[in-house]
């Protein structure tokens, strides 16, 4: 049985989880505490998730895991990629994660079920973002660029089943980003983007975070 070590908030872990869901391959999901440095270091030599354990071997790097699992039997992610999607992902990355990280720090993720786990996340991430409280106090105005990006994404969505019409690695990257976005309350999703994220959520068996959005 495959074992996948993750943090629930981690977008790279969503990528690894997606391929198991899309391929209907059973696996054990193990959620590490965020301050547990020893376990991932023992497995791959650094504190980083996702990690796949298979027959006492460990594999890090989300897209290596995706390729490895998609390579079991007939691959699913055979569709073309669209440079406009990678461009959109790059353009949305920094404003998304600036708003996402302070909200993740407040959310009921299992990796933060101990105070030490949550405090580790705040301490390490605030080093690059600055104080989470300052970001959260930016309010609704800070969400305008994200709403504009969602409008830009809508015409790129060719089908709710696959962004370019046929499943590809673009779907892995895009759904992971939309999954993170779903933790941010107050965003407006154009119909095509809404249909896409709901359909992908069902296909992958990964719930969006709307219910706990902040």
Ligand X SMILES: N[C@@H](CCC(=O)N[C@@H](CS)C(=O)NCC(=O)O)C(=O)O
Rule CB under 6 A: say whether 49 interacts with ligand X. yes
**11-23 vs 169-181: helix crossing angle, rounded to 10:** 130
Question: Looking at 44-52, 68-76, 127-135, 204-212, which segment touches ligand X (CB under 6 A)?
Answer: 44-52
Least Å distance, CB 99 to ligand X, is: 15
Size of the site for ligand X (CB under 6 A): 13
| CB of 78 closer than 8 Å to CB of 31 | no
Residues of this chain, 123-142, that bind ligand X according to CB under 6 A: 124
Q: How many residues are listed for the chain in this entry?
A: 214
175, 174, 205, 209: which is closest to 22 by C-alpha?
Answer: 205
Q: Which is nearer to ligand X, 63 or 187 (CB)?
A: 63
Query: Residue 188: CB partners within 8 Å, gap ≥ 6?
Result: 147, 150
Residues 44 and 188: their CA atoms lie apart, in Å, by 39
Rule CB under 6 A: say whether 47 interacts with ligand X. yes
Least Å distance, CB 129 to ligand X, is: 13
Q: Which is nearer to ligand X, 14 or 163 (CB)?
A: 14
Token digits of residue 63: 């897209």
Least Å distance, CB 212 to ligand X, is: 17
Q: Which is nearer to ligand X, 12 or 27 (CB)?
A: 12
Least Å distance, CB 163 to ligand X, is: 19
Rule CB under 6 A: say whether 48 interacts with ligand X. yes
Residues 64 and 204: their CA atoms lie apart, in Å, by 18
Q: 20-52 burial by CB neighbour count: b if 16+ within 10 A, else e?
A: bbbbeeebeeebbbbbbeeebeebbeebbbbbb
Rule CB under 6 A: say whether 29 interacts with ligand X. no
Residues of this chain, 106-125, that bind ligand X according to CB under 6 A: 124
144, 143, 160: which is closest to 200 by C-alpha?
Answer: 160
Residues of this chain, 58-87, that bind ligand X according to CB under 6 A: 60-63
- For the chain, the distance separating the N- and C-terminal CA atoms, rounded to the nearest angstrom, is 35
Residues of this chain, 4-23, that bind ligand X according to CB under 6 A: 7, 10-12
Least Å distance, CB 70 to ligand X, is: 15
Residues near ligand X, by CB under 6 A: 7, 10-12, 47-50, 60-63, 124
């Amino acid at each position: 049985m495959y074992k996948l070590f993750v943090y629930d908030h981690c977008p790279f872990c969503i990528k690894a989880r997606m391929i198991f869901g899309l391929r209907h391959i059973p696996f054990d999901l193990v959620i590490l505490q965020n301050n547990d440095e020893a376990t991932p270091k023992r497995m791959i030599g650094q504190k980083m998730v996702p990690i796949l354990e298979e027959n006492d071997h460990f594999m890090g790097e989300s897209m290596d895991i995706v390729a490895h699992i998609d390579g079991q039997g007939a691959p699913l992610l055979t569709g073309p990629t669209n440079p406009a999607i990678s461009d959109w992902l790059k353009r949305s990355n920094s404003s998304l994660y600036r708003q996402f990280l302070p909200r993740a720090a407040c959310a009921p993720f299992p990796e933060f079920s101990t105070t030490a786990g949550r405090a580790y996340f705040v301490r390490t991430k605030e080093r690059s973002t600055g104080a989470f409280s300052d970001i959260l106090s930016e309010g609704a105005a800070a969400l305008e660029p994200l709403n504009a990006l969602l409008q830009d994404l809508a015409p790129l969505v060719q089908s709710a089943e696959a962004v370019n019409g046929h499943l590809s690695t673009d779907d892995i990257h895009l759904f992971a980003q939309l999954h993170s976005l779903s933790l941010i309350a107050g965003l407006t999703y154009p119909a095509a983007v809404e249909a896409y994220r709901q359909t992908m959520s069902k296909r992958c068996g990964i719930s969006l975070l709307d219910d706990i959005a902040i």
